[in-house]
């Protein structure tokens, strides 16, 4: 089983603050995805990163893939209550079977 570690497990911040979530593995990914999940729903894909060093932006969300393709981060600028949710990273090692991190529960207080 490929291990994918996500940190922190929980994050509670005030509206307007910034936050960063990390995803690390000892293995090299073929690709890495970030998902967001709301209570009672399935995960929804936010972004896929494939190339080492890649940076992708989605409005106030910035996703970075490590140069060695073993780690990734998700940074949210000026968080809003609507950003509250469970953020999951998932790695693919070339066989389309995703392995997920345990998730980071983000709470943004108004």
Partner 1 sequence: DAGITQSPRYKITETGRQVTLMCHQTWSHSYMFWYRQDLGHGLRLIYYSAAADITDKGEVPDGYVVSRSKTENFPLTLESATRSQTSVYFCASSEGFEAFFGQGTRLTVV
> Where on the chain is the footprint of partner 1 (CB under 8 A)?
1, 6, 30-31, 33, 35, 40-45, 48, 88, 90, 92, 96-103
Q: What is the smallest separation between the CB atom of 103 and partner 1, expressed in angstroms? A: 5
Cβ closest to partner 1, residue 88 vs residue 108? 88
Q: What is the smallest separation between the CB atom of 72 and partner 1, expressed in angstroms? A: 14
Task: Output DSSP code: residue 103.
Answer: -
Residue 95 tokens read as 């066989």
Cβ closest to partner 1, residue 66 vs residue 91? 91
d(CA 101, CA 23): 7
For the chain, where are the alpha helices, taking DSSP H only? none
Q: What is the smallest separation between the CB atom of 48 and partner 1, expressed in angstroms? A: 5
* CA distances from residue 65 to 8, 82, 95, 100 in whole angstroms, order as listed: 18, 24, 19, 16
């Amino acid at each position: 089983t490929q291990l994918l570690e996500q940190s922190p497990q929980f994050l509670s911040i005030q509206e307007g603050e910034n936050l960063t979530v990390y995803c690390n593995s000892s293995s090299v990914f073929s690709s890495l995805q970030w998902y967001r999940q709301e209570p009672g729903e399935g995960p929804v894909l936010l972004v896929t990163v494939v190339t080492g060093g890649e940076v992708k932006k989605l409005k106030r969300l910035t996703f970075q893939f490590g140069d060695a393709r073993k780690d990734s981060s998700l940074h949210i600028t000026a968080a809003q209550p609507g950003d509250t949710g469970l953020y999951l990273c998932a790695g693919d090692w070339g066989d389309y079977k995703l392995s997920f991190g345990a998730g980071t529960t983000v709470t943004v207080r108004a």
